[in-house]
């Protein structure tokens, strides 16, 4: 069964402000700068690496809007990660790309009452002892929007 809506709802990343800190051994807090961050409908968890691969979980959580988003945007939202050994990978500057579409598995999770959906990604054939930068993106109606970048290093 295919659900498509010719007018998908526009899902905009939410912007929040965060301030990082370090707790020292003497319980003193050292505060970092205030940063604006776009939340990308999910979070990264369980990052691990081998000599030539990096594995991480991407957890999507659309909460109470899950059913509407899944039904109205089925197959229309491409999301994933560009990656590179240089910071800020993008569509025009990457060595690899992970691509997914909002599809059956997410739709079934939402309709089953689970607004959280976990996808595990493994990138292989990487260089040892190299830091790779992963940058989240969504592509809706041909327009790419970039989100957070995180890094991981092979062993």
Label residue 42 exposed, middle or buried (CB < 10 Å: 0-12, 13-18, 19+): buried
The pLDDT-based confidence of 23 (bands split at 50, 70, 90) is low
pTM: 0.70
Q: What is the pLDDT of residue 94?
A: 98
pLDDT band at 40 (very low <50, low <70, confident <90, very high): low
Question: pLDDT tens, 120-144?
Answer: 999 999 999 999 999 999 887 788 8
Query: Do residues 39 and 145 make contact, with C-beta atoms less than 8 angstroms apart?
Result: no
Going from N- to C-terminal start, the domains of the chain cover 41-153
| Predicted confidence (pLDDT) at residue 79 exceeds the cutoff of 50 | yes
Question: What is the CATH superfamily name and number for domain 41-153?
Answer: Immunoglobulins (2.60.40.10)
Which range has the worst mean pLDDT, 34-38, 102-106, 136-140? Answer: 34-38
Q: How far is CA 50 from CA 58, 106, 121, 154, in A?
A: 19, 29, 14, 6
């Amino acid at each position: 069964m295919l659900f498509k809506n010719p007018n998908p709802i526009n899902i905009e990343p939410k912007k929040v402000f965060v301030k990082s800190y370090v707790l020292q051994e003497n319980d003193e807090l050292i505060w970092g700068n205030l940063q604006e961050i776009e939340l990308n409908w999910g979070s990264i968890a369980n990052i691990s690496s081998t000599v030539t691969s990096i594995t991480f979980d991407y957890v999507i959580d659309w909460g109470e809007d899950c059913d509407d988003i899944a039904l109205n945007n089925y197959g229309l939202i491409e999301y994933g990660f560009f990656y590179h050994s240089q910071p800020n990978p993008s569509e025009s500057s990457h060595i690899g790309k992970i691509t997914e579409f909002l599809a059956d598995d997410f739709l079934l999770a939402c309709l089953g009452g689970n607004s959280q959906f976990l996808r595990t990604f493994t990138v292989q054939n990487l260089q040892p002892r190299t830091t790779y930068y992963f940058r989240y993106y969504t592509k809706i109606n041909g327009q790419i929007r970039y989100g957070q970048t995180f890094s991981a290093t092979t062993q």
